A and B are shown apart, each in its own frame.
Chain A
Amino acid sequence: MSYLAFAREMIGNLFKPPATSEYPFTPTKVYEADRGKVLNDINNCIFCGMCMRNCPSDAITVDRNARTWKINRFACVQCRECVTNCPKKCLSMDTEYTAPDTKKTEEVLQGPPPPPKPQVVLTEAQKAAIAAAQAKKAAAAKAAAESKANA
């Protein structure tokens, strides 16, 4: 047993570089796995709402009709659940954290307008075929109803 058993370590430390880094002047170490903040590639989003339903802290709001995707970054707990559940894989996790702010603001992303419905141009023959098929179907339904009434 001794006094000053730690002295050697302490004197050694005088000649070692500091164990801490001077953040923010030197950037911090970043790992690929780091969970910083959620990013959305809004052009690929289909506004299905899977991310909203799986978020444990209810940080995401998806509006299908208005085509908006809203996130409250100060409610997000960086669990990555939304990224795992997104069917289109348009969500990703950045390694950068959200910068601090004085207000709890929400970030709203507006999706592009929906692509126009494809206009189908039918030829005369196709139209006639569709009309014939519909007529046949109606006749069959009528026959079924009649046989039911007779029975």
Chain B
Amino acid sequence: MGKSTVIPFGPQHPVLPEPIHLDLELQDEKVVRASTSIGYVHRGLEKLVEKRGFQEYVYVAERVCGICSFGHGWGYSKAVEGLMGIEVPKRAEYLRTIWHELSRLHSHLLWVGLGADGMGFESLFMHAWRLREIILDIFESTTGGRVIFSACKVGGVRRDIADSELKEIVARLDKLKKEIDAMIYIILGDETIHARLRRVGVVTLEDAIALGCVGPTARASGLPLDYRCGDEGGAYKDLGFRPITETEGDCFARCKVRLRELLQSIDIIKGCVENMPAGDIAVPVKGFPPAAEHFTRVEQPRGEALYYVKGNKTKNLERFRLRTPTNVNIPVLVKMLQGCDLADVPNIILTIDPCISCCER
């Protein structure tokens, strides 16, 4: 056993899409200890709630993350709606569910690409991102934006999707589903991917519970933690949602959970389209948020995000707090890195699907 060496990893690193810094303490090729530091992209978006009106802030909330932008807009709106006691029309809830699940599809496809890129599987990376383009086109035709949608507002949604357009979306998703099926067959059957991901970065169920991880990371260890079966709102209750879990807890299981969720999201969207209720898409919002607090959650593609708002009877909220899924997945990441090979570090980091700019707001 040689003496330990500390090597810095990130914040700028070819495999990392996001700025996180790790100090890896190595003995030979094995990582014995890892410590993380973040703070490279802090933007102070929570503070901005004091400067922007509570209805305007939804545009800021969306900009917390470029991938779960719809989810953050929804989470913020849901928190303010809870604070002010606003009942959102059913059709708006269904439309929100459709956009949220489309976000999950594009987030997971993006992840497949990044994960493949981290392993050096460049052609799969290109392929996954080409499929993702279909989702971005659906976003553009229904909301007018590809990344920032500005579709959600306090009290409902800002745009309706016509029934003919909904049918067209389903047809496009059916086509996409065939391609995703073929892609899943490739990923699950490829020897190289098995060699890189199986039995790497294992999190046991006990660790998952003790370290409090969320999202696909928790579900891959057999912890059925998915807020979509809680009181998420949207159409999940009506559609009878069941979370997807795997039991191995390794990188491959996390990959499998995300791949299966791709197909599940397509089914949820189809369910929404079939049961789409008619009616209004928004209710008018009158007055200012009362001097009270409210707290809510949304299941983002990376896991559960928490939203807290506090009003003070003025146009601006007093406090907005957001805890994103990556925040709680960092302790488990440190645990996974202990004892792994240096060459597996990129794969392990990528399989928790870190979103650091979300995490720092």
Which of the candidate stretches A28-36, A65-73, A117-125, A139-147 sits at the interface with the other chain? A28-36
Taking a contact as CB atoms closer than 8 A, the residue among A32, A54, A78 that contacts B56 in the complex is: A54
Q: Quick check: A2 and B56 within 8 Å, CB to CB?
A: no
Scoring A residues 53 to 90 as 1 if CB is less than 8 Å from chain B, else 0, what string do you get? Answer: 01011000000000000000000011111001000000
CB within 8 Å for A56 and B141 given contacts A1-B194, A2-B189, A6-B186 = no
CB within 8 Å for A19 and B130 given contacts A1-B191, A2-B189, A35-B150 = yes
Number of interface residues of B (CB under 8 A): 30
Q: Quick check: A78 and B145 within 8 Å, CB to CB?
A: yes
Question: B158 near A: Cβ within 8 Å?
Answer: yes
Question: A3 near B: Cβ within 8 Å?
Answer: yes
Chain A interface (Cβ < 8 Å from any Cβ of B) = 1-3, 5-6, 9-10, 19, 29, 31-35, 54, 56-57, 77-81, 84, 93
Question: B59 near A: Cβ within 8 Å?
Answer: yes
Residues of B within 8 A of A34 (CB): 140, 144
Q: Which residue of A lies closest to B192 (CB)?
A: A3
Chain B interface (Cβ < 8 Å from any Cβ of A) = 52, 56-57, 59-60, 121, 123-124, 127, 130, 133, 137, 140-145, 148, 150, 158-159, 182, 185-186, 189-192, 194
Complex CA gap A19/B137 in Å reads 13
Complex CA gap A2/B130 in Å reads 24
Q: Which residue of B lies closest to A33 (CB)?
A: B144
Instruction: Report the minimum CB–CB distance from B337 to chain A (whole Å).
Output: 27
Residues of B within 8 A of A84 (CB): 158
Taking a contact as CB atoms closer than 8 A, the residue among A2, A6, A77 that contacts B59 in the complex is: A77
CB within 8 Å for A56 and B60 given contacts A3-B191, A6-B123, A80-B150 = yes
Complex CA gap A116/B307 in Å reads 54
Complex CA gap A35/B147 in Å reads 12
CB within 8 Å for A77 and B148 given contacts A2-B191, A3-B191 = yes
CB within 8 Å for A31 and B144 given contacts A5-B189, A79-B150 = yes
Instruction: Report the minimum CB–CB distance from A25 to chain B (whole Å).
Output: 19
25 pairs, A vs B, C-beta closer than 8 Å = A1-B189, A1-B190, A1-B191, A2-B189, A2-B191, A3-B190, A3-B192, A5-B185, A5-B186, A6-B121, A6-B123, A6-B127, A33-B141, A35-B144, A56-B57, A56-B59, A56-B60, A78-B150, A79-B59, A80-B144, A80-B150, A80-B158, A81-B150, A84-B158, A93-B144
Question: 13 extra interchain contacts, Cβ-Cβ under 8 A, other than A3-B192, A29-B140, A78-B150?
Answer: A1-B189, A1-B191, A2-B189, A5-B189, A6-B124, A9-B186, A19-B133, A32-B141, A35-B145, A56-B59, A80-B158, A81-B59, A93-B144
